[in-house]
Chain A
Amino acid sequence: MSAEVVAELDDLKVWFPVAGGAVRAVDGVSLRIHPGETLGLVGESGSGKSTTGLALLRLVDPTTGRVRVAGQDVTGWSRRRLRGVRRKVAMVFQDPQASLDPRHTVAASVAEPLVVHRLGGDADARRRRVAELLDLVGLRPELGGRHPHELSGGQRQRVGIARALAGEPDLIVLDEPIASLDLSVQAQIMNLLRRLQRELGLTYLFISHDLAAVEHMSDRVAVMYLGRIVETGSPAQLWQQPAHPYTAALLSAIPEADPAVERHRRRIILAGDIPSPVDPPSGCRFRTRCPSARPDCADTDPGLDPVTGDHRAACLYAGEAVREMRATPTP
């Protein structure tokens, strides 16, 4: 499992200075992404999941820690030197409306990375490559002449994906790629992403707050809370036996499209809001909202320790705390 790694973060910290301190957006994250897999990164706003994705592309600079891509430590690399690596790691953003230039035609938008990375040969070859990319993402060739505002949300996201594929990347960071799409279109895009992964052998970091989508898309999942990974494992491990109280609460909060289930379900409702990342709680960061917190949770910062096999959780009372929460009815 540890043999091949497409990308790796090692004790990454990304702090943004503010008056009187720093926003610790990412505060000690280590993860490895293996070839051909989808690693799902879940968390709520302020958890640091998007910043983690940006750090992997070196679109934000690490405060401390290392970033390795394609076997090379790129942590201190200059923009210029990064250009070659950038081709290997692409990104798809949430809002295709915002990530596409409204003045460019679809074809011009898809051709742009080819020009930047000096791929695709002469103008003729480039045109053929653009047509091929549009076909790959399921867009009719005549859409190449349209502008973003003439497309539906789903079509725009397909253009975003075609752009990401242009540099023939190994890894694509997908940052909430379906969040702004209509429900009936989300499934189309998820199917497309999975087909492309099969056909092109792509590796994905799938960042999302939509837990059902993450479960569907991912081989492994990492749950983030306040700048840290609190639990990792397979979707089956996390969904069936979450070991961290935050994961359990998050899963219990997702409403299911079944009125009979909804009527009888017992939710673990967390009190309050996520604390400020400028001044995270001592010890376990989740303890201020954890229904099973104990006094020593304030003193010890738990590491991401094995529960079983490669299922890991950062909780001093992993497993036990969740059983306790589930046994106690919430008011």
Chain B
Amino acid sequence: MTDRPVLAVEELTVTLGTRSGSARAVAGVDWSVHPGRTLALVGESGSGKTMSVLAATGLAPRTARVTGRVRLLGEELTALDPRRRRQLRGRHVGFVFQDPMTSLNPVLTVGRQVTEACEEHLGMSRRQARDRAVELLELVGIPSAARRVDDHPHQFSGGMRQRVVIAMALACDPALLIADEPTTALDVTTQAQIVELVAGLQRRLGTAVVWITHDLGVVAGVADTVAVMYGGRIVEQGPVDAVFAAPGHPYTRALLAARPRPGGAGDDLPAIPGAPPSPLELPAGCAFWPRCPVRGDARCEHELPPLTPVGPDHRVRSFYRTGEDR
């Protein structure tokens, strides 16, 4: 962990102009991810988990105002001109999104698509690119890769398409893989295959991974560090074991408790009342305050609690923290 982070964001803020006013999608977020490590960004809809990553990699919508610092492999991205930024991103960052069909062009063969980026960034010939495509499809476990390289996306199942997208993301041998809910659209047995695949590739290639998900089970399986987001801010972050064993924020605790436990059928679930807030109407203080089971006083409503250490690398944004690490 002494090594330099692959990607680090500091004080990242994203404001979106919408018809109903300006929405603060991300507000002062800090995180980093190191080589061979996985950071899981957890949150519900509107928490800002995806927007923070899109903004960090320069993919935020045009209407977004992004401030803060973003360093990719030590280079300050916000200081670069868009062309150079695009180049750096294309060369060093691979993306896998929830729906593989949003990343795949239905009219091109998978072989062409898998290596399209390499041809541009690594200056490969067609011949080299095709060989590399077969190699990559083998790497992600597509049977008979040499034959399937000339097939089109519709000839693959959902799970196999997601493998193709992973092959595409890894084509330039990126330092960082961004995986945004990559298994959400897949069946549970296929999800298990993809989780194992990414973990295996990461061990072999030393890629850093930012895994965006709402599934706490997936987080427990893939993450080294976790950042829990709510209402555009990180409310808790730390090593995965500490966060799950001693969740310090009332939201993290409530979220973990609200899932049905194996063998725990029968009782009512401790549900969280209400719904996650809209980025258009965030309270001045703690965004979780209106739903918080602990909420103490007017302070929570009007004052933003700072991220406060509760253990080694473990921080919690609440005036009412519990579960200091043992």
Contact of B192 among A195, A239, A267, A272 (CB under 8 A): A267
A105 within 8 A of B: no
Q: In the bound complex, do residue B188 and residue A254 qualify as a contact, i.e. CB atoms below 8 Å apart?
A: yes
Q: In the bound complex, do residue A267 and residue B218 qualify as a contact, i.e. CB atoms below 8 Å apart?
A: no
B231-265 interface with A by 8 A CB criterion: 240-241, 244-245, 254-256, 258-265
Query: In the complex, what residues of A have CB within 8 A of residue B44's CB?
Result: 182-184
Interface of A is mostly: helix
Query: In the complex, what residues of B have CB within 8 A of residue A182's CB?
Result: 44-45, 214, 275-276
Q: In the bound complex, do residue B259 and residue A215 qualify as a contact, i.e. CB atoms below 8 Å apart?
A: no
A122 within 8 A of B: no
**Min CB–CB distance A151 → chain B (angstroms):** 9
Q: In the bound complex, do residue A212 and residue B254 qualify as a contact, i.e. CB atoms below 8 Å apart?
A: no
Binary interface encoding of chain A residues 238-279 relative to chain B, with 1 for a CB under 8 A from any of its CBs, else 0: 010000000001101111111111100001011011100000
A30 within 8 A of B: no
Q: In the bound complex, do residue A215 and residue B218 qualify as a contact, i.e. CB atoms below 8 Å apart?
A: no
Q: In the bound complex, do residue A185 and residue B275 qualify as a contact, i.e. CB atoms below 8 Å apart?
A: yes
Query: In the complex, what residues of B have CB within 8 A of residue A183's CB?
Result: 44, 214, 216, 255, 258-259
Query: In the complex, what residues of B have CB within 8 A of residue A253's CB?
Result: 188-189, 191-192
Closest B residue by C-beta to A138: B273
Closest B residue by C-beta to A271: B193
B254-301 interface with A by 8 A CB criterion: 254-256, 258-265, 268-273, 275-276, 291
Q: Within the assembled complex, what's the spacing in Å between the Cα atoms of A255 and B256?
A: 13
Closest B residue by C-beta to A253: B192
Closest A residue by C-beta to B47: A182
Query: In the complex, what residues of B have CB within 8 A of residue A273's CB?
Result: 157, 159-160, 190
Binary interface encoding of chain A residues 203-242 relative to chain B, with 1 for a CB under 8 A from any of its CBs, else 0: 0000001011101110000000000000000011001000
**Min CB–CB distance B195 → chain A (angstroms):** 7
On whether A191 and B196 interact (CB within 8 A), knowing A183-B255, A209-B187, A258-B244, the answer reads no
Binary interface encoding of chain B residues 185-220 relative to chain A, with 1 for a CB under 8 A from any of its CBs, else 0: 001111111011000000000000000001111111
On whether A262 and B221 interact (CB within 8 A), knowing A213-B260, A216-B260, A239-B262, the answer reads yes
Contact of A256 among B190, B214, B220 (CB under 8 A): B220
Q: In the bound complex, do residue A216 and residue B264 qualify as a contact, i.e. CB atoms below 8 Å apart?
A: yes
Contact of B189 among A155, A187, A249 (CB under 8 A): A249
A274-296 interface with B by 8 A CB criterion: 274
**Min CB–CB distance A225 → chain B (angstroms):** 10
Count CB-based A-B contacts (< 8 Å): 129
Binary interface encoding of chain A residues 180-209 relative to chain B, with 1 for a CB under 8 A from any of its CBs, else 0: 001111111011001100000000000001
On whether A184 and B272 interact (CB within 8 A), knowing A253-B192, A255-B217, the answer reads yes
Query: In the complex, what residues of A have CB within 8 A of residue B187's CB?
Result: 44-45, 209, 274
Contact of B265 among A216, A256, A262 (CB under 8 A): A216
Contact of A215 among B157, B195, B221, B265 (CB under 8 A): B265
Closest B residue by C-beta to A240: B263
Q: Within the assembled complex, what's the spacing in Å between the Cα atoms of A267 and B69?
A: 40
Binary interface encoding of chain B residues 136-151 relative to chain A, with 1 for a CB under 8 A from any of its CBs, else 0: 0000000100000000
A153 within 8 A of B: yes
Number of interface residues, chain A, beta carbon within 8 A: 46
Closest B residue by C-beta to A154: B275
Q: In the bound complex, do residue B265 and residue A255 qualify as a contact, i.e. CB atoms below 8 Å apart?
A: no
Q: In the bound complex, do residue B220 and residue A187 qualify as a contact, i.e. CB atoms below 8 Å apart?
A: no
Closest B residue by C-beta to A214: B260
Query: In the complex, what residues of B have CB within 8 A of residue A152's CB?
Result: 275
Query: In the complex, what residues of A have CB within 8 A of residue B241's CB?
Result: 259-260
Q: In the bound complex, do residue A257 and residue B191 qualify as a contact, i.e. CB atoms below 8 Å apart?
A: no
Query: In the complex, what residues of A have CB within 8 A of residue B215's CB?
Result: 255
**Min CB–CB distance B239 → chain A (angstroms):** 9
Q: In the bound complex, do residue A261 and residue B275 qualify as a contact, i.e. CB atoms below 8 Å apart?
A: no
Closest B residue by C-beta to A182: B44
Query: In the complex, what residues of A have CB within 8 A of residue B265's CB?
Result: 215-217, 235
Q: Within the assembled complex, what's the spacing in Å between the Cα atoms of A153 and B259?
A: 18
Query: In the complex, what residues of A have CB within 8 A of residue B196's CB?
Result: 267, 269
Query: In the complex, what residues of A have CB within 8 A of residue B143's CB?
Result: 272
Q: Within the assembled complex, what's the spacing in Å between the Cα atoms of A205 and B265?
A: 17
Q: In the bound complex, do residue B269 and residue A191 qualify as a contact, i.e. CB atoms below 8 Å apart?
A: yes
Query: In the complex, what residues of B have CB within 8 A of residue A270's CB?
Result: 189, 193
**Min CB–CB distance A172 → chain B (angstroms):** 19
On whether A153 and B256 interact (CB within 8 A), knowing A254-B217, A269-B192, the answer reads no
Closest B residue by C-beta to A256: B217
Query: In the complex, what residues of A have CB within 8 A of residue B218's CB?
Result: 255
Q: Within the assembled complex, what's the spacing in Å between the Cα atoms of A204 and B163?
A: 37
Q: Within the assembled complex, what's the spacing in Å between the Cα atoms of A240 and B158?
A: 30
**Min CB–CB distance A242 → chain B (angstroms):** 13
Closest B residue by C-beta to A273: B157
**Which of B159, B160, B261 has most chain A Cβ within 10 Å?**
B261
The 3 closest A-B pairs by CB, nearest first: A255-B217, A216-B260, A187-B271
> Can you spell out 28 A-B residue pairs with CB atoms less than 8 angstroms apart?
A45-B187, A153-B275, A182-B214, A183-B44, A183-B216, A183-B255, A183-B259, A184-B254, A184-B275, A185-B272, A187-B259, A187-B269, A187-B272, A195-B268, A209-B187, A212-B262, A252-B192, A253-B188, A253-B191, A255-B220, A257-B256, A258-B220, A259-B223, A262-B217, A262-B220, A270-B189, A273-B157, A273-B190
Known: A188-B271, A274-B187. 15 other contacts (CB 8 A): A183-B258, A184-B254, A187-B258, A187-B269, A187-B271, A187-B272, A188-B273, A190-B269, A212-B262, A215-B260, A216-B264, A239-B262, A257-B256, A262-B221, A267-B192
